[in-house]
Chains A and B, each alone.
Chain A
Amino acid sequence: MFGEKALELIKELKRCGDGLLPSFNEETVRQVLEEMKSLFEENHKDVTASSEGEQGLFPGVQLRHAALERNKRILLTYLNERATSIAELRWQMGTVLPPDIRSRLAEHELSWLQKYNKSLTAYMRAVGADITHNLKPPKSLLIEVRCTTEHGSIELTSGRTLHLSRGTHHFLERSECEPLIARGIVEEI
């Protein structure tokens, strides 16, 4: 049946769940577009024949039109769902993407992410607050964290330099360690 190829895209997203973004399925998208092209050409042929007096082709044209609309809806849903997850990356990982996640995005999806970053930054500048921080209600000012990776040195807002090596414990200000925790460099104890 028409539209089955397209449905594979949706099933793929559903299988992956909301944690992980699958690679952009260029091949299947291309095949769906191919199916649309041939549906359109068939219809074009039938419409031309009908205008020349041939009878009984119209129900078929309508059926193919329904299939065209279906494919279009599914392709757009696929892109929209991915675009939403990609924008979510900005909140979860900050502005720099790890290379293997980056490689799962189509070229145009990367530029969507860039534009999204730009709008969000412009918005945050306008309101004067970084809304990607302060994600949880604060219980204390200082948080005790343990470093889980060999990260090297970072500079704190106070100007102090901190050396983060695996297994070391630190007391850090909440605003300071929130991004480090989100990126999985340190964990709260």
Chain B
Amino acid sequence: MSQYYKNSRLNDDYLSIDSIMASQERVTSTFRTKIRNLGFLDIGSDARDLEVGVKMELPYWLAAFLCNKRRQIVEVETPKQYRAGQREILNADPVVVDLHKLGPHFYKFGSLFLSFQIPESLNISRCLLETFQGRFKHIMDISQNCLNEDLSKVKSKLDECEKVIFALGQDSLKDFQNWQTRESAKLKASKMIIQQRKRKRNELD
């Protein structure tokens, strides 16, 4: 049994911005129970109620509340990016895939989606892990070796977690270079002051 099922780390981070953003991703859900008076949530329909069989894109936080061990008000579908077809592509060569397009919270949302415990979950969790492992070395290589080149193209294909890792790699490279030039020992004005000055200058221009 995968630990990912039990791993609720993402869920207990109640005050995390990233966690909130990831839980806003959409899950296609079909209503199994009629919900009265909330038909207006289904944009484009004039019905007063949400009828059984209505299909809607619900944010993860709502879908998870309506579909779990306690209640099955909706039934969820596996999002495209985690389905068998996409998994095969990722499996073949994870490095070339544009995860930002599939995400941008590919890993976080993927881990959240595992909470539905559908039969596919085990395969999805394996895919998340292998994709991450397959791309990690590549990401670290680039981020720790190129500093002044234009990396926007590479970065644009990264998932949000990968961007954090990438930035860490770049920071450590910069720190190292600053250390070599003794720049790091220098005292600097605080970030907030620098931003403030920039803003004032822009306002004057």
Contacts and interface: CB of A to CB of B under 8 A. Distances in A.
A69 B187 CA distance: 45
Contacts of B197: 184
Contacts of A105: none
Interface in B57-105: 58-59, 61-62, 65-66, 71, 73
A110 interface: no
8 contacts: A1-B62, A20-B199, A42-B37, A63-B35, A66-B61, A66-B66, A92-B193, A188-B187
Contact of B190 (A2, A7, A92): A92
B199 A178 contact: no
A141 interface: no
Contacts of A139: 182, 185
B193 A93 contact: yes
A62 B190 contact: no
User: Shortest 6 CB-CB distances between A and B: which pairs?
Assistant: A92-B190, A66-B65, A184-B189, A19-B195, A184-B193, A181-B187
Interface residues of A, number: 48
Interface string A145-158: 00000000000000
Contacts of A20: 192, 195-196, 199
Contacts of B17: 10, 13-14, 77, 81
Contacts of B21: 10, 14
Given A60-B35, A62-B73, A101-B196, A183 B20 contact: no
Given A19-B195, A74-B20, A101-B192, A63 B185 contact: no
Given A66-B61, A66-B65, A184 B187 contact: no
A59 B67 CA distance: 12
B192 to A, nearest CB: 5
A137 interface: yes
Contacts of B9: none
A77 B16 contact: yes
A182 B35 contact: no
